[in-house]
Amino acid sequence: MVQIFIKTSEDTGINEWAIIELQGDLECENGKDINGKFMADLFFNKDGTPILILGHHVMYGKVCNLEKPMVLIKKHKKLNEIDDGMELDDMKENFKTEYLVKSVIRKKILFNKRPKPIVF
């Protein structure tokens, strides 16, 4: 059996991130690398309504509080403490997996209304 620890890190306190929830799947051009690419512009109406322009769609959404808070945790390999009498060979196997809490998430922007197409 393993024991995996989940705990806070120095980042945890600083970061409070958000979730954008979309309806349906996020489609990308086939085969292209999406890393680093621009995704969407986010505007807000003066009444607080968020508006997302993503590709050829404009979507109206709603800011909601999450029913229960969420945390984003990140895997981290930690070197085990060295015991006296440990052989050098042992040290290769001596990593422990743990998860550090990167941020706390309490709100999301939900876009579940039908998107309107944009004609360019």
Partner 1 sequence: MEVTETEESALKDKTNRQLRSKELLDELIDKAKLNKDDLEPSVQHIYLSNSLTANEEYKLLELDDDGLNYLLEGNSLIIRGSETENAVCCTKNATFSFKVAEISNPLLITSNLSLSGKCDLEASNSEVLFLTNSYFLMAKEKPKLQKIKNLLELNLYSGRAYEQNNAQKYTIEHFLDCIQASEEEIYQYLNYIQAFQIDGFWRLLDFRYLNQIMDNILKLIEEKCWLFDKIPAKDIYQELDSIYEISVLNQVVLYYFTRNDDDANFYSMRKEKIVYFYADSILRATIKMRFTEFQMILEKSLPSNLGIEFNLCLIQVIFFIQKIK
Q: Using CB under 8 A, which of 90, 91, 112, 113 touches partner 1? A: 112
Pairing of strands 116-117, 50-54: unpaired
Residue 14 binds partner 1 (CB under 8 A): no
Residues 100-117: b if buried by 16+ CB within 10 A, e if exposed:
bbbbebeebbbbeeebee
Stretch that binds partner 1, among 79-87, 88-96, 99-107 (CB under 8 A): 99-107
Looking at beta carbons only, is 39 or 91 nearer to partner 1? 39
Number of residues forming the site for partner 1 (CB under 8 A): 65
Q: Please, which residues have CB within 8 angstroms of residue 59's CB and are 6 or more apart in sequence?
A: 22, 51, 52, 53, 111, 113, 115, 116
- Quote the distance between the C-alpha of residue 63 and its chain's center: 17
Looking at beta carbons only, is 59 or 88 nearer to partner 1? 59
Point out which residues bind partner 1 (CB under 8 A): 1-8, 12-13, 15, 17-26, 33-48, 50-51, 53, 58, 63, 68-76, 99, 101-105, 107-109, 112, 116, 118-120
